[in-house]
Amino acid sequence: MKQLLKTGLMAAVVVTSLTTGSVLAQEAAMNEKHAKAATKYRHALYTLVASNMGPLGGMAKGAIPFNQEVIETNAMRLEQLADMMADYVKVDTRKFDVDTEAKDEIWENWSDFEGKISALKSAAANLQTVAAAGDESKFAQAIGKVGGTCKSCHDDYKAD
């Protein structure tokens, strides 16, 4: 009877965690080696994000001329990188001594963090549409929207 009760409780726990999908989306790093590798890949992802945003920021500021093709390509890549972001950040490295600017709050508020990823994805998709339409007067604003989603996430989840 005691065993049955235990099994029943376990089943209840499993069902509860299955229904709160976002909790399952993150996982604790298994050891320091795992945490360090995850941090390295996380940095690599954000480095790619920054390299695609750099020219767009330069265009929005007027430092370099608008280039419709570059905007479309980089906006598409930013959307793809947003698609990878949850996977690259889900490994919770809080318990290990890693060199990171990722704040602990990421893994405490995972579904909010995922919402910030979605915001980047939508803004990047919108930028592709705006670039494809070819009206240069709308480019800077659409790039600014993408930049706003970087800042919004960094404000809450990146230490500087």
Identity of the residue numbered 120: L
Residue 35 CB neighbours (<10 A)? 21
158 belongs to the binding site for ligand HEC (CB under 6 A): yes
**Cα 70 from Cα 56, distance rounded (Å):** 8
Tokens of 64: 């370099």
> Smaller CB distance to ligand HEC: residue 96 or 113?
113
39 binds ligand HEC (CB under 6 A): yes
Nearer to ligand HEC, 46 or 139 (CB): 46
Q: Please, what's the b/e burial string for 50-85 (b: 16 or more CB within 10 A of its CB; e: otherwise)?
A: eebbebbbebbeeeeebeeebbbebbbbbbebbeeb
Interface pick for ligand HEC out of 35, 142, 143, 150 (rule CB under 6 A):
150
The interface with ligand HEC within residues 54-113 (CB under 6 A) comprises 78, 100-102, 106, 113
**CA gap 108, 116 in Å, rounded:** 14
Binding residue for ligand HEC (CB under 6 A) from 29, 35, 49, 142?
Answer: 49
47 contributes a contact to ligand HEC by CB under 6 A? yes
Token match 């549409």: residue?
Answer: 129
Provide the binding-site residues for ligand HEC, judged by CB under 6 A.
39, 42-43, 46-47, 49-50, 53, 78, 100-102, 106, 113, 116-117, 120, 146, 149-150, 153-154, 157-158
